[in-house]
Structure 1
């Protein structure tokens, strides 16, 4: 009965906050506080809390396993990621420490751990926001996710050092784990694409990684992360992470319910959360300044910083292990930061356009890692977006002898296409500075093959505003999107699935004619 109550409360509160544009996590925390307030009437006892604790622990392990699946050295071994992440961790911890000592007056060791917990940004919120805006693989999205992974690694190190656990001699076997990578790759290949793959992920994250590390005196969280990292280079690592996403999210609901049930906020807690919310702009400004120091352009630095301007659910995980007495103040602080960050991210691009004239002069006058092209030279056809559709269009036209150039905002896509011999450059179609600077004197046609419909509309409008009178062709999944692109100035928009069906039918008709003639 009590499980049904948990689910009902979590669903109603999650749906309520989502309907006003806020992350459902805030609703789950609110559901936990509501359950705490009505605990005696609902009959929530120690056994029920123990079950919820177990579910919460499983959610944390799955979260860390999926973080490990994203641990690719190429995304982390960048100066702006490592340098920006480490410097921000140190500086923001020093910024928060005096405020914590002044408001809560804890022992300085506990105050330092609280400051460290608040220095982290939310992996879950940033990933969801960037994914929702189709910016997860853009340059600024990759920088933000890279910094978040650095922070997650720091959090694990802090938990391991502060917990005071002494590993057993068997823990040395951890150094032999890389030898298991070929076996793990074969298991993932053999598991298919359905329930066996999900079970393999659960086995590695919860049993072998979590329980296995715990049994030799190491952190279960570290074990889950380690086994995820060993699979990070497998081509299907992303598929495995996606298959575990829903299960992880359901278990993490238990984590946030557990925090709320732990106690109701008092006046001091609310004052502390309000003060920490006032410090959020300083946290974002610190990220922005550090990214500029590491040679990012103002736009990339601004958008990455906005994604990171929040407090982290990972800070709650650290507190749940090391500072259980301060879990409720931290939970309120994190929830309030999510409310602010969700609204800030919603208007990030328009906000940058308003502030661009003040932010661009702050850029360092040297080559930036996200520098965009000024001229496309003598290219005749431009392909924007080099996913499967863009690559197919590029190769078909290049084979016919056209002079081609392509643009994409994903550094990995650029690297892979460059290695394949395609002429590809970095560019962000939603960046107004790009459209102000770009020169394409010989371009006669533009193919819009990006995934994001909004980017296609913006690109079409910017092309026409710049005086381009050549051919603009796009593809779209739905009729209303196709109409929006054409209203912006495109000559023609093809419906992807309709064209695929028509192409398939044409192949069938051609083969049938050939059989009859033969």
Structure 2
């Protein structure tokens, strides 16, 4: 009966945190802690179900966008493996050294110590994906690197949980390989669903059904949701499906953040331990950054990917819970790790929100660690004699490019950070380049004085504004036009000196203009 109260308090906390410039997810965390402390509330079966569905849909959505060729990169496996090994060694050694001085560690055997260290070596898939989505960076190279590392970590967690619970997959689990030939059938079913609620239901069924199918064969259900996403992904409609599931997934993930808070606070001794573990996390981004730059990633790519991994993981919490159930770890450590996880979220989110500005302000410091050679996709860009730039080559950007070609022949360039979309546009003969519009390094390689017009049609308003502010800061005095979807977004862009176009409000005008021009052509024919 108290579930509505929990949801309403979470809504209020989310609004407050959004108002003060923090993501609503931190409000959900805070509301859980407050409700537990003031009203002794705990997570109900309903909230737990919402959380489980959120994680399942999250992994399915990751699978939809996953490129297996990117995941096969030895660099990703190298960064992940080395970081996890060093993390376990450092955290485990640190806890062993503290053992004689802290009551929370007294009585723990080495197995428990190393289990805690292992649980804390993961980073949060939920938080990283949310950060990239909110900042419109899901297609960026640093986002793909971070998500690739997280998926490898999640696979390691799945192996651990499968082994520790005693649910070792039987030989019959090999039957799951029969799902691979079913991929064309899944794509055909997705196309048959159209664009409405059937598409959402299809995605929901594939995620939940995949998880249940893998659980039946004693394989972790979350891995099943991820693999089903991979099988459904790659079709012409998989991106549309991912967008259709976005709000549903975000809604269910509220339950996940609530549960962390509703677990409550540990005892005073364990709270001290949680605070120590929350502070220890500072090593993570430094180690990731060093490893990535050593492997020839650019400083900016390395920094943004490293900061996205600057947190503990929900999978670490699950790992500790499984270990506690198997008697490897005292149950009170699950709550302690949950508080440390919450602390890491509160530290990570504000820093990630300012990550681009951090790089821009201290670029000279970060680039000292770069290697001189560049990996494919990180090379310098030469835009030739382009005088018009179109940022974002989705449906809107492609339409803008096609229209402006008439007025700026051979002088227009499209900028896109998604490799698949980039390849598709290049095959169509368009003059397109790979680039991240929010990347200061990208703009530093361009002579902005030769550019007359910049058309910005990125999917995220926050990123659009950040790009405008960046090019203004770099001294660009030409015309800037930006797509918007709401009246308040238009006002913000116009205050920045931009020409703004309300995609929704002007759709009718554009439709009527298109029909009128066609009728005129037919009448004169």
Structure-1 residue corresponding to 2:295? 294
Q: Distance in 2 between matches of 1:302 and 1:214?
A: 37
Alignment of 1:352-371 (within 5 A): 352-371=359-378
Alignment of 1:153-168 (within 5 A): 153-168=155-170
Q: Structure 1: state its 5+ residue gaps.
A: none
Cα distance, 1:292 vs structure 2: 0.5
1:278 and 2:285 correspond: no
Structure-1 residue corresponding to 2:82? 87
Structure-2 residue corresponding to 1:416? 424
TM-score (norm 2): 0.84
Q: Deviations over 1:146-171 (max 9, x none)?
A: 22222222222222222221334432
1:221 and 2:229 correspond: no
Q: Deviations over 1:281-339 (max 9, x none)?
A: 21010111111012121122112211211112222222233335122011101111111
User: CA 1:225 to 1:267, structure 2 compared with 1: closer, same or farther past 3 Å?
Assistant: same
Q: Deviations over 1:370-393 (max 9, x none)?
A: 535354333454333322233223
1:390 and 2:375 correspond: no
Structure-1 residue corresponding to 2:3? 3
Which residue, out of 347, 356, 360, partners 1:340? 347
Structure-2 residue corresponding to 1:191? 193
Structure-1 residue corresponding to 2:413? 405
1:457 and 2:468 correspond: yes
Task: Point out the more displaced range, 250-259 or 168-177.
Answer: 250-259
Which residue, out of 93, 102, 105, partners 1:98? 93
Q: Distance in 2 between matches of 1:173 and 1:293?
A: 41
Structure-2 residue corresponding to 1:202? 204
TM-score (norm 1): 0.85
Cα distance, 1:188 vs structure 2: 2.1
* 8 Å Cα contact 1:429/1:459 also seen in 2: no
Q: Distance in 2 between matches of 1:277 and 1:127?
A: 21
Structure-2 residue corresponding to 1:317? 318
Q: Deviations over 1:31-80 (max 9, x none)?
A: 5455555778x7x8xxx855655554444433333333333214423454
Paired residues, number: 507
Cα distance, 1:20 vs structure 2: 4.0
* 8 Å Cα contact 1:382/1:446 also seen in 2: yes
Q: CA RMSD in A?
A: 3.3
* 8 Å Cα contact 1:461/1:489 also seen in 2: no
Alignment of 1:482-501 (within 5 A): 494-497=501-504, 500-501=507-508
* 8 Å Cα contact 1:373/1:425 also seen in 2: no
* 8 Å Cα contact 1:168/1:217 also seen in 2: yes
* 8 Å Cα contact 1:288/1:301 also seen in 2: yes
User: CA 1:411 to 1:181, structure 2 compared with 1: closer, same or farther past 3 Å?
Assistant: closer
User: CA 1:52 to 1:354, structure 2 compared with 1: closer, same or farther past 3 Å?
Assistant: closer
* 8 Å Cα contact 2:381/2:433 also seen in 1: no
Q: Distance in 1 between matches of 2:82 and 2:282?
A: 17
Q: What's the secondary structure of 1:383's corresponding residue?
A: strand
Structure-2 residue corresponding to 1:115? 117
* 8 Å Cα contact 2:265/2:271 also seen in 1: no
Structure-2 residue corresponding to 1:430? 438
1:171 and 2:182 correspond: no
Which residue, out of 109, 126, 129, partners 2:128? 126
Task: Point out the more displaced range, 290-299 or 171-180.
Answer: 171-180
Q: Distance in 2 between matches of 1:455 and 1:357?
A: 20
Q: Structure 2: state its 5+ residue gaps.
A: 100-104, 326-330
Task: Point out the more displaced range, 128-137 or 373-382.
Answer: 373-382
Cα distance, 1:211 vs structure 2: 2.9
Task: Point out the more displaced range, 83-92 or 22-31.
Answer: 22-31
Q: Deviations over 1:458-507 (max 9, x none)?
A: 365256x26x6xx53523326665676566666x5555456544443333
Q: What's the secondary structure of 2:433's corresponding residue?
A: strand
